[in-house]
Structure 1
Amino acid sequence: MASFLESPSAIIMRCCILVTMVHSLCACMCQPSHPQQRYCKANFVLTGHVLEKNPIDDIQLRGRFGQFEYVVNVDKIFKETENLRKSASRFPLSILTSPGDSLCGPKSLKIGSKYLITGSIVDGELHISSCDWIEEWRDVTQHQKKGIKHFYNAYCSQCTIQSTTGRWRQTGEGSSGGCIYDPSPSMVDGVEDCQALYATCITQQGEGCQWYHRGNDYQDCINRNKPYYQGVETMQSVSFPIMDDDVMT
């Protein structure tokens, strides 16, 4: 029997490994979020072309073992700080990320492609993770582009969005003045996320915050994906102001 007993140091080591594994697994459990939520929570929002992907070498580590640096030539900044504006005007930006999905790193970005990138600023450095909104610009819908440029930021302080599905529920958000976001049709059934693609949470003519869409894209999406959207909060159509640069490329 004695041969099967582990020493106290061995037991402690096993516990440390287990805690590390659990932490790694739990670290990247991102709450499902509408693009408007991701925009509002981000420290920066920009579009740019990816020029390089470089590992952080030993000299640069400073506690960031395994991270990568993306060098991005910025096309446009939609949400910024003063330091970010100055940096982007002088040279391509360095954006740091973890190495892979298990450590919160986003999927690898394609060199030469244009991306929408949202992220955080920590100690003056730009960081992105798998919980941020990072998507090839060509795949962002015109409704989302309009939100990025004109509407998301305008309603960050006015409207809250509550994400809720059978498995997830965000606490501390959502009220009579907010909107309910249900990503379950996309997460569970693999169909289009109509709310994320074609709806914006805004106020209209002094009313509370509600989901609005423009044109027929949202309803067409619902029709394509019936019956998965039964019971989803009703959308209201609104004529968003027309801008000269309404269509963004």
Structure 2
Amino acid sequence: MRSGTQPLLGLLLLLSLQGSPLTEACSCAMTHPQDAFCSADIVIRAKVVGKKLLRDGHFGTMRYTVKQMKVSGLIEKVQHVQHIYTDASEGLCGVKFDINKYQYLITGRVYDGKVYTGLCNFNERWERLSLAQKKGINHRYQLGCNCRIKPCHYLPCFVTSKNECLWTDMLSHFGYPGYQSRHYACIQQKEGYCSWYRGMTSRDKTAINATDP
């Protein structure tokens, strides 16, 4: 988002692709938390301590001030995050955070040194994450960024390469927060094979094959 006209350009693009009215709600594809982690420029744990509406563009941009707790992920562009930017309109996938209440996991993209996020990014209150998700964010998800999580929407479905894990949450849970989303990471094993992994404690470490949820 390199200028104040970006929100309007985003709206025009949305309308041209979907033929949607201005009241069309934000629509996002289902994403496993590991995919959200691996595709993000930056992943932070932070408390939101303030907000300000910037009157740029047609709908404006919300700027949240955060107190950063920890930075994870694959980014080296930003070492310290003070502000998070998002569209002010939820119809354009703007996300709303509570002020001075919770610690959040926030994922986003970096443009011109600024961090942007939205409803289609993986943003959640830290306390609501499962233990496996917290461990995934801190370490495990990064081990599987070369793997591919393949969604299964209808049976039968199969993996087609050794680096795939079959994601079946949407068959019964409609995606996040299904069982695989909350408790498993797709990790690269020997010889490039990827498989679902659940590790809770030193006595409960289980690797399962790529076709087993």
**TM category, shorter:** 0.7 to 0.9
Q: 1 or 2, which has the higher helix percentage?
A: 1
Partner of 1:75: 69
Structure showing greater radius of gyration is 1
Distance 1:36 1:66, change over 3 A: same
Q: Deviations over 1:139-158 (max 9, x none)?
A: 1111011111111112212x
Q: Which has the higher contact order (CA 8 A, sep 6+)?
A: 2
Does residue 123 in structure 1 map to residue 109 in structure 2?
Answer: no
Q: Distance in 2 between matches of 1:83 and 1:149?
A: 19
Q: What TM-score do you get using the length of structure 1 for normalisation? A: 0.65
Counterparts of 1:161-200 in structure 2, within 5 Å, are 161-166=149-154, 175-184=161-170, 185-187=172-174, 193-200=178-185
Q: Which residue of 2 aligns with 1:13?
A: none
Matched, 1:97 2:86: yes
In structure 2, runs of 5+ residues without a counterpart are 1-14, 202-209
Change over 3 Å in CA distance of 1:201–1:66 after alignment to 2: same
Report whether the alignment pairs 1:41 with 2:27: no
**What is the CA–CA distance in structure 2 between the aligned matches of 1:119 and 1:192, rounded to whole Å?**
20
- Give the deviation of 1:174 after TM superposition: 6.8
- The runs of 4+ residues in structure 1 deviating greater than 6 Å are none
Q: 1:23 to 1:120 in 2, by over 3 A?
A: farther
CA contact (8 A) 2:104 2:124 kept: yes
Gaps of 5+ in 1: 1-17, 217-231, 236-249
Q: 1:75-131: per-residue Cα shift (whole Å, max 9, x none)?
A: 00002544410xx2xxx611111123311112x211111100001112322100111
Q: Which amino acid aligns with 1:69?
A: R
Q: Pairwise CA RMSD of aligned residues?
A: 3.0
Give the conservation status (yes or no) of the 8 Å contact 2:42–2:72: yes
What's the TM-score once normalised by structure 2's chain length? 0.75
Deviation per CA, 1:211-245: give whole Å up to 9, x if none: 121259xxxxxxxxxxxxxxx9414xxxxxxxxxx
1:138-217 matched pairs, under 5 angstroms: 138-157=127-146, 159-166=147-154, 175-184=161-170, 185-187=172-174, 193-206=178-191, 208-215=193-200
Q: Which has the higher strand share?
A: 2
State the percentage of identical aligned residues: 29
Distance of 1:130 and 1:175 partners within structure 2: 31
Q: Sort the Cα spacing of 1:84 and 1:206 in 2 relative to 1 into closer, same or farther, 3 A.
A: same
Query: Is 2:52–2:63's contact at 8 Å kept on the other side of the alignment?
Result: yes
Task: Name the count of aligned residue pairs.
Answer: 185
